[in-house]
A and B are shown apart, each in its own frame.
Chain A
Amino acid sequence: MREIWHMAAKDLSLLVRDRAGLFWLLAFPLIMALFFGSVMGGMGGSGGRGKMRLAFVDETSGSQYAIEYRKLLSESNALSVTDTNMVDARQSVRVGRRSAYIALMPDTAAQSGLSLYPGGIPRFEVGIDPSRKAEAAVLQGLLTQTHFSLVMGQFSDPASAMDMFRTSSETLDTLNVSKSGIDASQRDNLQELLSSLESFYGKMDSIKEQVADSHSFSDNDSVTDSANPDSSTATAANGLADSGPFQGPEFNIHAVVDDRERPHSAFEITFPQALIWGLLGCVTAFALSIVTEKTHGTLVRLRLAPLSYTQIIGGKGLACFIAAISVCAILMAIGYVVFDVRIDDPLKLALAIVACAICFVGIMMVISLMGKTERAVSGAGWGIMLVFSMVGGGMIPLIAMPSWMVEIGALSPVRWGITALEGAIWRGLSYQEMLLPVGILVTIGVTAFFIGVTILSRRQM
């Protein structure tokens, strides 16, 4: 055992002196964690990060609808809106300066206010950067939501609603039946509906008094809510007493977290990935070191010494294991001290790190078999590790992958490594729940280690 320790100490000493190697083990994973953490808003606050940059063009010459629509859009947390003209809007999207533009077109009902009559729906032109096509549906949803928020606002204000019904009724009167696609009977029915609605809204004050009496609503509460100009949901959510009979759906969107409000920041999500990158760096460094011993001739001297193959390879494995644990510990310490990464359960984290280290030591052994030169092993190492990382969620979030790739991801040790580490850091997995990823990691590691040792011994390294 003493000889194995000497071997491991030698390898660790060589590793520490290799500055380029240390970069890939420590600095690169940290950079990855910081980069993705920042992209995901890990610095806290909105700060504009992650918002879709949108150009807004008003072609209606400052209609009331355009002003209100623009105001509501700018309140969205998902959008960063800038006013501009059509030419600049198209150019800025074409060159990638903005993700999309939206232009409210002229000659629509938007110019004269909202109308219920067919064809009176405001007409938008939306241009999107081809590279952001995946977000087109999200953008459409946001634009539609904004429009309906305005519509709901009109319905919730009896005076505005009555104005709208009146305008619509007048428009219907002047409508060219043959061109609009509405026949005379449909027009009569619509007129009757608008007339009824106008009459109904005219009686709103007396209805509100009756409802207030029966439910004892607090006038102060109502005033406070409706006076909140920043709340985009306030208009739709004020209740029957203020908004009348038409009320839109209220969306309360939130992240699924447990009662400890985890993850605390995006860095808690990205640091498990950083640890995995550190482990991948260890795998490549030590797989290379086995081949380097061979090509530099030092393996000959090791084999001349009174050591068995198992001791020589065991020394490599021990060095890789210690390096892997050290890299994880250093990265987590930096995460904890500098980036406020809170560890849910240190014991579970230790368990996850040890399981990951065992797994990647085994993989290191197998990768060291994949070539007789440093170049071949380095290529094979990074190639395999990148595929593992890609399908395992080390590079691209699992949610962004097609379903078949997510299923393939189950074959990647990176996937189980991240699951175990996240489970210990912020997902709050129980020991029972940790058993699956930890068990898979240890099984992969032990199996790969014995395959590697057996083949290396047969090849006499």
Chain B
Amino acid sequence: MLTVTELKKSFGEIQAVRGLSFSIKRGETFGLLGPNGVGKSTTINMIVGLLEPDSGAVSLADVNDSSLREYRLNIGAAPQSLALYDEFTAQENLEFFAKLYGLSGAKLKERVEYALDLAALVDRKDDRINTYSGGMKRRLNLACAMVHDPPFLALDEPMVGVDPQSRNLIFERIEELKKSGCTILYTTHYMEEAQRLCDRVAIMDNGQIKDIGTVEELIERHGGPSIVTAEFEEQPNLALSSDVTIDGHTLHAKTPKPMELIAKLTDSGVTFRSLNVERPNLETVFLNITGTKLRD
């Protein structure tokens, strides 16, 4: 669906994007992860046609020129900042943006109703949005991106400033879109969002992609060992590897294969008082790749 090849963009002396390449299959949800300021928004802006790349190419549904109408009709984008007319109602906002994509008549009505339902704003559709909460606006921002039924959706940090209820609703709606076959490019720096929604993830740092893969693949490659902590009824008498330390009744272990260690302990006949396994997740991967030092 989308192919990005050697994309580069600089702002003066700053190289925001340094030769980015990746592709997204039709129906896939692809996460672009990275700390703030690593070039995620610049990348997405070049993909949706808001920024002209210095070099490289973007191809969406076999259309290579982002200024072409066919290219734009295939994209629905929810910018990071809210992009709505405060003096309009939700319905008026949706109708206006739908008309810009050539919708009219029954199709327009049908899509606006769908988008209102998607944003769960049917009951408030006639209220001006300057009376809405931040979460409601965020949901409408997403609905405006979907109103013309695009096959490709670019969501730039869609959960910023959203309350837990709206956050959950937005998750559900994106999952519905995913099931309906929509291709989604999702940028975020919240790992649990990416882990829940994305089929594949690219981790960006310093304008480059550090690695791409499924969440499991990335954890396997960059997650490191699991941490096993066990407490026994009696002090165990076991011969274990050097990664395992036993202090009285408590065992601490760092192992890439925690289940094997637990099986071995069970087989030895020890009685567990408690057992805790901390597996690496995407956040661990992220911190391992991008480092833990604060960067601005």
Contact = CB atoms under 8 A, between A and B. Distances in A.
A184 to B, nearest CB: 94
Contacts of B102: 2, 306
B84 interface: yes
A304 B99 contact: no
Contacts of B228: none
Contacts of A301: 77, 79, 83, 97, 144
Contacts of B49: 303-304
A3, A7, A10, A301 pick with most chain B CB within 10 angstroms: A301
What interface size band does chain A fall in? Answer: 20 to 34
Interface string B87-112: 11000100011011110000000000
A306 B73 contact: yes
What interface size band does chain B fall in? Answer: 20 to 34
Nearest to A307: B100
B79 A300 contact: yes
Interface string A129-170: 000000000000000000000000000000000000000000
Contacts of A13: 88, 92
Given A304-B77, A306-B73, A298 B83 contact: yes
Contact of B96 (A10, A299, A303, A304): A10
A305 interface: yes
B137 to A, nearest CB: 11
A132 B3 CA distance: 78
A14 B86 CA distance: 9
A302 interface: yes
A13 B67 CA distance: 28
B67, B73, B79, B144 pick with most chain A CB within 10 angstroms: B79
B85 interface: yes
A133 B186 CA distance: 74
Contact of B50 (A10, A298, A303): A303
Interface of B: 48-50, 67, 69, 72-73, 75, 77, 79, 81-88, 92, 96-97, 99-102, 144
Sorted from nearest, which 4 A-B pairs have the closest CB atoms? A306-B72, A301-B83, A305-B100, A297-B83
Given A10-B85, A306-B72, 16 more contacts: A6-B96, A13-B92, A14-B85, A18-B87, A296-B83, A296-B86, A297-B83, A298-B84, A300-B50, A301-B77, A301-B97, A302-B100, A304-B75, A304-B77, A305-B101, A308-B67
26 contacts: A2-B102, A6-B96, A6-B99, A13-B92, A14-B88, A17-B87, A296-B85, A296-B86, A297-B79, A297-B83, A297-B84, A298-B83, A300-B50, A301-B77, A301-B79, A301-B97, A301-B144, A302-B100, A303-B49, A303-B50, A304-B48, A304-B49, A304-B50, A306-B100, A306-B102, A308-B67
